[in-house]
Each structure stands twice: as C-alpha cells, then as structure tokens.
Amino acid sequence: MDSATDPNTIKEDPVSVTVSAPPSKGIQQGVGESPSSSTSPAAPSRYESQKRRDWNTFLQYLKNHKPPLTLARCSGAHVIEFLKYLDQFGKTKVHMTGCPYFGHPNPPGPCSCPLKQAWGSLDALIGRLRAAYEESGGRPESNPFAARAVRIYLREVREGQARARGIPYEKKKRKRPCVTTSAVGINVSAVAATQAVDYGGVSGGTAGNLGTATTTT
C-alpha cells in the first residue's frame, strides 16, 4: 500500500474566496449582463492538504500524550511511538511468524494476524511531517522526523513486512538519458565553417556545403 492509497487519507473540499472586480471605466453594465469576472486563489493541492492534516494530528497527539509533550521536547523516540500508535488504524494484514500464511503474498484464507499501517504509508507520512516541521519554524538539525532512530525503524518495518507478506520492495532503476545526435551535427557545421574561413573567407551560409561543392571549367 503506498501513500496514494493511505487509508487515513481524508479528502478536504477546497476553500476559495471570490473577489468581484470593479467594472471598467467608461463602460456601463446593462440589464441582463453578467457581472464582472471574479478571481479566486488556487486551492491547496492534495499533498498540502494532507500535510496540514497530518501536522494537526501529530500536534493533537502530543497534547494528549501522558504526560503532555511540547514540540520543542519531541524526539525521534516520540515519533516512533506515534507511528506505533497509528498501527491500530491500519488496514494492511501483516502475518506473524507462527502464522501458516507467513511469507505468502496471496493467502487463501483469513487469519488472526493484526492489521497495521503499511510501510509505504508510514514513509510518506514521515516525509510530510518532516517538511511541515521545518515550515513551522523548526530547525533542520533538530528535526525529530529526520532522526536516525526513525530511519532505522522505518527500514525495520519495511523489511519485516516484506518477509511477512512475501512482497519484496525493490528500488526502481533510473533510466540513463539518451544522447541525441543534434549536438554532433552542430559541431560538424562549426568545424566546416572554421575550415571555410581558413580557405578564403567563405561565408557561414556556404560553409555547410563546402564538402559537396564541385568545380566547373
């Protein structure tokens, strides 16, 4: 399950503000004519909306923590506690070691193994919270969502779920950029133009035809 299918994702209706523009000078608006065009600010993207919701959820978690925590005292350990707390709302079946379906990508029947948050959802969540922390004025060097302990925890979750569900996580190979031959043609023309100048000051327009020119007697 990736971030695009995160079960905790809640869509928000975009909020727009309509501002009526005054009519142009010297033009009267007649009866039955539509009012002047209105403009509205761009609605926040789905990523920005989800990031704001995730950030508010984490702040509420700190507020309800026992004892209550402030953002300044939050550490990587508290972030891991938050990720484990979210497992109760997960919808991804993660088989236990003793389950007969352990390592089976498509189990033929139900089992009593718990539901958890998928690794992809947690990884995307941490990325959004890391960005929201710095956008809220936090310093990058003290960002608890970028702590080494959080990275290790996410790696362990990824490897554990891969073994339990029998679904390997493989990195996509980057495609090498294709080299075009247009630059080569330009270089050949430039060389031909240079040679033309050396052999009698031939203009650049005829330099390209230097190799195919014939001499008549």
What is residue 154's predicted lDDT score, i.e. its pLDDT?
Answer: 97
The pTM (predicted TM-score) of the whole model is: 0.58
What is residue 106's predicted lDDT score, i.e. its pLDDT?
Answer: 85
What is residue 123's predicted lDDT score, i.e. its pLDDT?
Answer: 96
What is residue 179's predicted lDDT score, i.e. its pLDDT?
Answer: 54
DSSP string, 2-40: -GGG-TT----PPP---EEPPPPTT-PPPTTPPPPPEE-
Residues sharing a CB contact under 8 Å with residue 56, sequence separation 6 or more, in sequence order: none
CB atoms within 10 A of CB 72: 7
φ, ψ of residue 116 in degrees (nearest 5): -135, 170
What is residue 177's predicted lDDT score, i.e. its pLDDT?
Answer: 61
- Of 133, 202, 123, nearest to 169 (Cα)? 123
What is residue 44's predicted lDDT score, i.e. its pLDDT?
Answer: 80
Tell me, rounded to whole angstroms, the distance of Cα 18 from its chain centroid: 30
What is residue 169's predicted lDDT score, i.e. its pLDDT?
Answer: 58
- The pLDDT profile of the chain, 217 residues, written as one tens digit per residue, is 444 444 443 333 333 333 334 444 443 443 344 444 455 667 789 999 999 999 999 999 999 998 889 999 999 999 999 999 999 999 999 999 899 999 888 888 899 999 999 999 999 999 999 999 999 999 999 999 999 999 999 999 999 999 988 876 555 556 666 555 444 444 544 444 445 444 444 444 443 443 444 444 4
What is residue 171's predicted lDDT score, i.e. its pLDDT?
Answer: 56
